[in-house]
Copies of this chain bind each other. A is one copy, B any other.
Amino acid sequence: MAITEDWQALVDQKLIDRASQIPPAWKLSSDLTELVRPDASISAFDLLRRTTLLSPRELEITETYSAEKLVGLLATRQITSLEVTTAFCKRAAIAQQLTNCLTEIFFEQAIERAKELDEYILKNGRPMGPFHGLPISLKDTFMIEGQAATLGFISFLRKPTATKNSSLVEMLLEGGAVLYVKTNVPQTLFTCESYNRLFGTTMNPHNLSLTAGGSSSGEGALVGIRGSILGVGSDIGGSIRVPSLCNGIYGFKPTTNRVPYGGQQELLRRGWPGILPAAGPHAQSASDLTFFVRSVLLSKPWLRDSTALAVPWREIPRKTRLTIGVFLNDPMFPVFPPIARALQAAVAKLKSAGHEVIIVTAPPLITGVNGATRSLMLDTNDTISKYLAESGEDPVECVRQLNPAALLNQDVYSLDDVWQFIAEREDYREDWGKVWRENQLDVLLCPASRGTAVPHDKYGAPVYTLIWNFLDFPASVIPYEHASKALDTAEMDGFDGAPCHVQIVGWQFQDEEVLSATETIAEVLNS
């Protein structure tokens, strides 16, 4: 099946419209852009350094501060939102040209909004809210009034633009945030890849020939290259954590429905009985993950969004000595040398920093993976495939392989599968409960993937992240170390310099504990 000319015309127009949102003055020269290809083993950071588009001040703004620090400067009028917003819009424009990470671009509105916020603080003598003046990027799934939300489905080009903000968008705006871009996703959003037939491939800024991960692909690449200081993604199997680890940034998947998820673009069939997605932040530091989640929860999302849980933010003291369970590897899904090295190095550093590190015996990953997979196969209406079929879009290879909805005869799934999935989840939760109880763990440290970012379309099943969605456990990713053909193995050549990571996992609802431990552990690893 192929898309018709009518649809192709819509696609072409969409890409023209998107490109037109980048001011001519912010366009890169063609000698740079012609190097940008998903098979080019080059670094977007190198290309960025070869332009003079960003002024020293804009480099300072986009590279020197944390989001929380910027908000502090904005709230005390040491910097204007106009200056910050312009810097990030410009850098996002460059990021788009180097990595193809954006779906919707609305710099003009952003700059208008920034000016209004600068006037607001001048007039009122106080910031509008916790995000006053800060540009925040959003995954394409969020609805922003007047903007499209195509999710990379060609058929969604015929949907009207949003008439209502998602509840989180509404909260960010009331909190003083500046919205300026929406970011790309893979076809169907059910893979950890970065390609869809509408917008094409989002590339990894560390190496364009590697995947940016997914499904929050664009957030990963954009925050990775600091075209955004704080981005919001969503995660049903690894979709925040995988792009984070691929692009060398921090990411956090909260317990479901703590960060409000209401009012997103439709994707799942309504009434989904399986694993639920969670919205959460991508950032350049652990403390910015906390800054985001704390600020959102202190604004009491449940007062505006009936899907948000009324579980308030808890201020907890930082523990000076953590009890950290470590799970290095599941023999069925062996991790590759760079990740093994990063984990071992992390363990050594944490031990010598005085934390209690306990190597735990983990329940088999496959048990959780099988249960989670069953829960992802329950849509006998095959809703997502219909989105593809509507425009004649073919499923890409990784969708064929990974998303059973596109492949299997779903009628083999029945009511009994729901019972079985829930019972399996209970059992698996108890298996992990024993690990937590016997070792009195604060958090668990483990891989979030078998390797670093891999070439496009080769990510496979996100087994090390998916199991925590199955259990609804909060989990973060800390970028740590890089793949090295010298230190690892010769086969790692194509991955040389790709970011490595560790994953920090906590018990359901212990988001505060995971964020606090993530900050502590990141400090140790970065010291």
**Complex CA–CA separation, A305 to B269 (angstroms):** 33
Which one of B303, B309, B378, B421 lies within 8 Å of A508 (CB-CB)?
Answer: B309
Q: Does A31 sit at the interface, judged by CB under 8 A?
A: no
Distance from A460 Cβ to chain B, minimum over Cβ atoms (Å): 28
Interface size class of A (residues with CB under 8 A): 35 or more
**Complex CA–CA separation, A419 to B314 (angstroms):** 33
Q: Does A365 sit at the interface, judged by CB under 8 A?
A: no
Known: A307-B429, A311-B311, A312-B314. 9 other contacts (CB 8 A): A269-B419, A270-B422, A270-B423, A271-B423, A303-B437, A378-B419, A415-B415, A415-B417, A415-B418
Which one of B270, B272, B415, B430 lies within 8 Å of A380 (CB-CB)?
Answer: B415
Chain A 394-422, CB within 8 Å of chain B: the 1/0 string? 00000000000000000001111111111
**Complex CA–CA separation, A488 to B420 (angstroms):** 51
Q: Does A432 sit at the interface, judged by CB under 8 A?
A: yes
Closest to A378 in B: B415
Distance from A305 Cβ to chain B, minimum over Cβ atoms (Å): 8
B273 touches A419 (CB 8 A): yes
Q: Name the B residues within 8 Å of A302 (CB-CB).
A: 507, 509
Closest 3 interchain pairs by CB?
A306-B433, A271-B423, A271-B419
A271 touches B437 (CB 8 A): no
**Complex CA–CA separation, A306 to B434 (angstroms):** 8
Which one of B271, B310, B311, B424 lies within 8 Å of A426 (CB-CB)?
Answer: B271
Q: Name the B residues within 8 Å of A424 (CB-CB).
A: 271
Q: How many copies does the complex hold?
A: 2
A273 touches B422 (CB 8 A): yes
Q: Does A69 sit at the interface, judged by CB under 8 A?
A: no
Q: Does A304 sit at the interface, judged by CB under 8 A?
A: yes
Q: Does A165 sit at the interface, judged by CB under 8 A?
A: no
B426 touches A307 (CB 8 A): yes
A437 touches B304 (CB 8 A): yes
Q: Does A265 sit at the interface, judged by CB under 8 A?
A: no
- Complex A-B: 18 CB contacts under 8 Å: A270-B423, A270-B426, A271-B418, A271-B419, A271-B420, A271-B422, A273-B273, A273-B419, A302-B509, A304-B437, A310-B508, A311-B311, A312-B314, A380-B416, A414-B415, A415-B415, A415-B417, A418-B418
**Complex CA–CA separation, A77 to B380 (angstroms):** 64
Residues in A369-399 with C-beta less than 8 Å from chain B: 378-380
Chain A 266-287, CB within 8 Å of chain B: the 1/0 string? 0001111100000000000000
